[in-house]
């Protein structure tokens, strides 16, 4: 939510100088605010490439200069034993030195010819200075204005000198003779490509740039002053249109690992597939240190590798495998003194990795999976969920006809999980693949009537599973003649476009891409023997080749400037000023609210807000600094401005019909706020652009918990919920707690673990076993002490230290409650206590190092909701008997809020949820009659 321009100048929100010392917000990390979260994942349609030339250019001539001196090691290199020996995949010691030199030269030429067969190749094997000069000048003369490539292998000569010299030989091979890079520039001219495969190759690059700058200065002097001596001499060629490829940095040696070729750099350029397969088979050959791998970082103006890669099949294959290759013979257009280094892969996992950019189906796999026959049956998400749970291992084997642990079964399970993913774009892609597989299977099937969806669960169901990481626990079977369908549809709707109109009681249903009419409705159910089937768009549908756009989106950043200061760090930028305004506002809220709570709150019953919510409130959450409150019902969220009593927004959360929202959290509440929603099927969704008159957008979504047992108990039946809870039965749904300081999200609920997610890395980092057979009903964490307090349905309160191992992290268990724990709160102070309240109304205070409670209070029985103020010594209890009681830490009732008859009476239904403001002494209360109220210690606090 961005600030209003009027508020920026408002003196009421400006801090005095003594209040500006609060810098805590600047030190807090931000979650889900990377570019991948804020931008649409798609490539740029038109990339402005300043390094490209206007005219297309070809590499027409290639000089292959090999200084190997086979059998004689250079004096300044101490080789390991054993050492890398292969040159162009030839072992030079396997034949005579002269024959080895000629064979290696011929092999190098063949490797280059695979990329550019029409170029003119000239070899210079163990040459002298004159031979190199003759070769280069001849090639430049014949190439005219086209590009020439100079390949230098210096494995048999000393390393380059700091004066800008490489080494060749004298005629008798008794001396090493230096060759100046300045002379090499003169002979080669421009445009040219230089490849340096030698140790300390970065020295050549630096010298080249220095000499190129010197030539530019000489040209400028000659142009300005015709009488200058330089103007009387032949003009030096400009080196602007030159590209350099260096094997390593100025201080690095070439790798000597015997499992790798000696010319590893050349191999990466000319035989990328072969070297990739070799390294993938010998991952240990790559040490983690980039220096050993001759990795030279790219300079800011480096062109994107994808743009420099040849279109040949080998390079295309490697791009799909996430390996960046660079063909020096490709059609490269360049401008300016440009140096491009090729970064060798230095990942410990090896250079070959699966790329998520392409997802496609295999006709061979689909034919193996089986063939459904009914091409008119549409599967909903409920049916997919049944398919995921269907049958035991033995029955699944008999249905599929293949091994239960076969690769096809595993792929089908994964697709079913992805089809029910909470993020619509992921589920849409999976549904398209499932539809494609089902369609292909249908085309191979013998027409017959299939069973309805009820047949999917005829066998005894296995343990219920859900979308998540534990794929191996999921059931489900691929398409087959008697148990599936040819067309699957995704029924999870996306958030509707709201605009400024008044929404109905329930936001309208908007289908996703998967919800369109199935393709199979467009064709007859019987086919002639020689019918070729659908064509055009339908044929494309059969061969689903889906792309996420991630690779194109990532590649476009190679063409953008990297020297520009990021907007968030530019002190004069609008983004920076907005952040400063928000942090000043936050400091004022903290300071003013602290003054009020420090004085002590003696009453909290003035109703400062009341309105009818579109749905029955189930979860309510105050924004910590804005006058905004989020109210969730079963599957939607409404936002209210509680100061102006205005509804700001109301949108659909996107969870399936049989699930409900059970928890909410504000992420980055101090800055650009995001809203996290958790549902009782274990799904987590992150929203942005809410409550600011713009359409809310889903930033991301994922399956936070697996093996959840969704409850169907509704909020309108709080009495039955209370009875179920009093018996210790399920129904906690999903509970969460958020640590802004660490970016960690704690999740639990109707499961037997507390799962911790790292939002910075976007991955699960820890599973803490609860050690109980009942659900987790409440979570509270403390980042300073790395502690997590959990209340459980069996009445126990458990304390965990997440720094310890899974078998040791439960450090304390309190069993003083005899019924469902409604709330367990861990105070954030250094010596903070645990405060817990059960459904029976007994309040317990626990010291962390003491096995017994240090204080016990008794409140009303039949609690349905409870919250504890994090700053003031207050806690509030809500009852199904239309009653709210507010207590201080001594157990004294400071306010009783009841239902009163009459025109002026306060309207309160059975309490469904309540929550304190993180700072102000405000209490939000939701009731089963749809009303939402806020009570305060004072009528006006600001």
pLDDT tens column, 20-75: 446 788 989 999 998 888 888 887 765 455 555 555 678 999 999 999 999 898 98
Buried b vs exposed e over 444-479: b needs ≥16 C-beta within 10 Å?
ebeeeebeebeebbebeebeebbbbeeeebbbbbbb
Percentage of residues in the chain having pLDDT higher than 70 = 67
Q: What are phi and psi of 854, to 5 degrees?
A: -100, -10
- Residue 220: enclosing H or E segment and its boundaries? helix 201-224
pLDDT of 366 > 50? The answer is no
Residue 207: CB partners within 8 Å, gap ≥ 6?
A: 160, 162, 163, 164, 165, 181
The beta strands (E) that lie in 51-106 are given as 59-66
Question: Is residue 82 reached through a cis peptide bond, with omega within 30 degrees of 0 on the bond before it?
Answer: yes
Residue 106 reports pLDDT greater than 90: yes
Q: How far is CA 695 from the centre of its chain?
A: 23
Q: What is the pLDDT of residue 543?
A: 52
- Write out the H or E segment, with its range, that includes residue 87: none
**DSSP per residue over 279-300, as a string?**
HHHTGGGS-S-TTTTT--PPPT
At 233, the pLDDT band (50, 70, 90 cuts) reads: low
Q: Is the pLDDT of residue 697 over 50?
A: yes
The percent of residues in the chain predicted with pLDDT above 90, rounded, is 43
Distance CA 645, CA 233 (A): 84
Quick one: which of 616, 716, 504, 740 has its CA closest to 29?
740
- Determine contact, residues 825/868, Cβ cutoff 8 Å: yes
- Taking phi first (over 0 means left), then psi (-120 to 50 degrees means alpha), and beta for anything else, what does residue 189 get? left
- In this prediction, residue 235 carries a pLDDT of 60
The whole-angstrom separation of Cα 138 and Cα 760 is 57
Tell me how crowded residue 521 is: count the other CB atoms within 10 A of its CB: 10
Average pLDDT (537-552) is 63
How far apart CA 239 and CA 373 sit, in angstroms, is 68
pLDDT of residue 400: 44
- Rounded CA separation 809/238 (Å): 68
Measured on CA atoms in the order 256, 261, 262, 264, is the torsion positive or negative?
negative
CA 379 – CA 387 distance, rounded (Å): 10
Residue whose tokens read 């001539």: 61
Q: Please, which pLDDT band fits residue 667 given cuts at 50, 70 and 90?
A: very high
The model's confidence at residue 445, banded by pLDDT at 50, 70 and 90, is low
373 or 183: whose pLDDT is higher?
183
Q: Where are the domains of the chain?
A: 59-283
Q: Which helix (H) or strand (E) holds 4?
A: none
Give the residue with greater pLDDT, 752 vs 541. 752
Q: What pLDDT sits at residue 383?
A: 54
pLDDT band at residue 314 under the 50/70/90 scheme = very low
Give the model's pLDDT for residue 381: 53
Q: In what order do the strands lie in the sheet with 242-246?
A: 120-125, 59-66, 147-153, 192-197, 242-246
The whole-angstrom separation of Cα 825 and Cα 867 is 9
Average pLDDT value for residue range 139-154: 93
Closest CA to 199 of 175, 166, 244: 166
pLDDT value for 384: 55
Angle 748-753-755 (CA atoms, 0-180°, nearest 5)? 60
Residue 766, CA distances (Å) to 672, 701, 748, 781 in order: 27, 19, 12, 14
Quickly count: other Cβ atoms within 10 Å of residue 848's Cβ: 17
In degrees and rounded to multiples of 5, residue 760 shows phi and psi of -70, -50
pLDDT tens digits, one per residue of 235-278: 667 787 899 999 999 999 999 999 999 999 999 999 998 998 88
3-class DSSP state for residue 199?
coil
Query: 478: closest CA among 595, 539, 397, 580?
Result: 397
Average pLDDT rounded to a whole number, residues 538-560: 69
pLDDT at 691: 81
Q: What is the pLDDT of residue 218?
A: 78
Q: If you average pLDDT over each of 201-210, 488-497, 883-892, which comes out highest?
A: 201-210
Look at strands 646-652 and 636-641 and give their pairing. Answer: antiparallel
Largest CA distance in the chain: 116
Mean pLDDT over residues 683-690, rounded?
94
- Of the candidates 40, 5, 42, which has an alpha carbon nearest to the alpha carbon of residue 552? 42
Give me the mean pLDDT over the 156-175 stretch.
Answer: 93
- Tokens standing for 271? 């035989």
Which ranges of 556-623 would DSSP assign to H, the alpha helix? 574-599
pLDDT tens profile 334-361: 222 353 223 322 222 233 222 222 222 2
208 closest CA partner among 115, 337, 320, 105: 337
Which pLDDT value is given to residue 658?
85
415-428 residue pLDDT tens: 888 888 999 988 88
pLDDT for res 678: 96
Residue 157 contacts residue 69 (beta carbons within 8 Å): yes
Mean pLDDT, the chain, integer = 74
Confidence of residue 523 (pLDDT cuts 50, 70, 90): very low
702-736 core/surface letters (b: 16 or more CB in 10 A; e: else): bbbbbbbbbbebebeebeebbebbbebebbbbbbb
pTM exceeds 0.75, yes or no? no
Confidence of residue 647 (pLDDT cuts 50, 70, 90): very high
Is the per-residue pLDDT at 889 higher than 50?
A: yes
What is residue 189's DSSP assignment? Answer: -
CA gap 307, 320 in Å, rounded = 14
């Amino acid at each position: 939510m961005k600030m209003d321009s009027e508020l920026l100048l408002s003196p009421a929100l400006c801090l005095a100088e003594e209040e500006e010392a609060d810098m805590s917000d600047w030190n807090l990390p931000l979650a889900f605010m990377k570019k991948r979260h804020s931008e649409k994942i798609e490539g740029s349609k038109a990339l402005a490439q300043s390094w490209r030339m206007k005219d297309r250019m070809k590499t027409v001539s290639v000089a292959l200069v090999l200084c190997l001196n086979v059998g004689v090691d250079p004096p300044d290199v101490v080789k390991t034993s054993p050492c890398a020996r292969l040159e162009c995949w030839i072992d030079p010691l396997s034949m005579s030195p002269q024959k080895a030199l000629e064979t290696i030269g011929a092999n190098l030429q063949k490797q280059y010819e695979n990329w550019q067969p029409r170029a003119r190749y000239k070899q210079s094997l163990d040459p002298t200075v004159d031979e190199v000069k003759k070769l280069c000048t001849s090639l430049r003369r014949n190439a005219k204005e086209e590009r020439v490539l100079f390949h230098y292998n210096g494995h048999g000569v000393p390393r380059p000198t700091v004066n800008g010299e490489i080494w060749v030989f004298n005629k008798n091979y008794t001396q090493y003779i230096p060759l100046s890079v300045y002379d090499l520039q003169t002979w080669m001219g421009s445009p040219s490509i230089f490849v340096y495969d030698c140790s300390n190759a970065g020295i050549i690059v630096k010298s080249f740039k220095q000499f190129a700058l010197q030539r530019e200065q000489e040209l400028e002097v000659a142009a300005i002053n015709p009488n200058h001596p330089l103007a009387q001499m032949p003009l030096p060629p400009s080196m602007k249109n030159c590209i350099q490829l260096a094997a390593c940095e100025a201080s690095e040696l070439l790798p000597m690992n015997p499992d790798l070729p000696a010319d590893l750099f050349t191999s990466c350029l000319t035989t990328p597939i072969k070297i990739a397969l070799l390294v993938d088979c010998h991952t240990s050959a790559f040490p983690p240190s980039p220096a050993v791998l001759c990795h030279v970082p790219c300079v800011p103006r480096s062109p994107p590798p994808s743009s420099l890669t040849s279109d040949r099949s080998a390079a295309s294959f490697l791009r799909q495998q996430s390996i960046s290759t660079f063909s020096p013979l490709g059609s490269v257009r360049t401008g300016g003194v440009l140096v491009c280094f090729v970064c060798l892969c230095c990942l410990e996992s090896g250079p070959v990795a699966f790329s998520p950019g392409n997802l496609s189906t295999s006709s061979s796999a689909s034919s193996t999976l089986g063939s459904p026959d009914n091409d008119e049956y549409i599967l909903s998400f409920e049916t997919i969920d049944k398919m995921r749970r269907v049958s035991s291992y033995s029955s699944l084997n008999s249905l599929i006809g293949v091994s239960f642990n076969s690769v096809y079964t595993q792929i089908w399970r994964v697709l079913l999980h992805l089809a029910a993913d909470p993020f619509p774009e992921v589920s849409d892609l999976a549904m398209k693949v499932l539809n494609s597989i089902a369609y292909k299977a249908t085309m191979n099937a013998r027409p017959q009537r299939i069973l309805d969806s009820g047949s999917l669960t005829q066998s005894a169901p296995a343990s219920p599973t859900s979308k998540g990481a534990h794929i191996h626990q999921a059931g489900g079977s691929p398409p087959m003649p008697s148990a599936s369908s040819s067309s699957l549809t995704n029924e999870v709707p996306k958030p509707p476009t709201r605009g400024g109109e008044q929404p109905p009681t329930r936001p309208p249903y908007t289908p996703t891409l998967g919800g369109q009419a199935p393709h199979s409705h467009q064709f007859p159910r019987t086919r002639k023997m020689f019918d070729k089937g659908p064509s055009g768009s339908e044929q494309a549908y059969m061969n689903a080749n889906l792309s996420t756009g991630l690779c194109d989106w990532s590649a476009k950043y190679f063409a953008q400037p990297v020297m520009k200061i990021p907007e968030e760090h530019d002190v004069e930028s609008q983004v920076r000023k907005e952040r400063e305004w928000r942090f000043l506002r936050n400091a004022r809220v903290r300071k003013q609210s602290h003054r009020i709570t420090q004085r002590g709150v003696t009453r909290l019953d003035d109703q400062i807000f009341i309105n009818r919510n579109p749905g029955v409130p189930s979860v309510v959450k105050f924004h910590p600094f804005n006058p905004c409150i989020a109210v969730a019902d079963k599957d939607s969220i409404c936002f209210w401005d509680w100061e102006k009593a205005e509804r700001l927004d109301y949108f659909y959360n996107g969870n399936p019909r049989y699930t409900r929202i059970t928890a909410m959290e504000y992420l980055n509440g101090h800055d650009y706020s995001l809203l996290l929603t958790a549902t009782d099927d274990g799904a987590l969704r992150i929203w942005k652009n809410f409550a600011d008159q713009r359409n809310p957008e889903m930033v991301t979504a994922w399956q936070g918990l697996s093996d959840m047992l969704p409850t169907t108990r509704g909020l309108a039946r709080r009495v039955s919920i209370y009875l179920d809870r009093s018996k210790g039965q399920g129904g906690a749904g999903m509970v969460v707690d958020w640590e802004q300081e660490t970016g960690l999200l704690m999740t639990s609920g109707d499961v037997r673990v507390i799962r911790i997610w790292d939002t910075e890395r976007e991955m699960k980092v820890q599973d803490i076993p609860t050690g109980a057979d009942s659900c987790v009903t409440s979570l509270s964490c403390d980042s300073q002490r790395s502690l997590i307090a959990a209340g459980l349905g069996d009445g126990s309160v458990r304390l965990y230290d997440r720094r310890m191992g899974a078998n040791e992290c439960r450090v304390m268990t309190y069993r003083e409650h005899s019924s469902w724990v409604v709330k367990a709160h861990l105070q954030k102070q250094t010596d903070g206590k645990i405060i817990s309240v059960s459904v029976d109304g007994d309040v317990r205070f626990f010291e962390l190092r003491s096995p017994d409670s240090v204080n016990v209070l008794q409140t009303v029985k039949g609690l349905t909701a409870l919250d504890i103020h994090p700053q003031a010594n207050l806690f509030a209890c809500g009852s199904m008997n239309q009653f709210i009681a507010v207590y201080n830490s001594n157990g004294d009732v400071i306010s009783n809020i009841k239902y009163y008859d009459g025109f002026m009476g306060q309207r309160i239904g059975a309490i469904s949820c309540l929550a304190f403001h993180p700072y102000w002494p405000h209490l939000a209360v939701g009731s089963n009659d749809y009303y939402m109220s806020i009570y305060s210690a004072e009528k006006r606090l600001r």
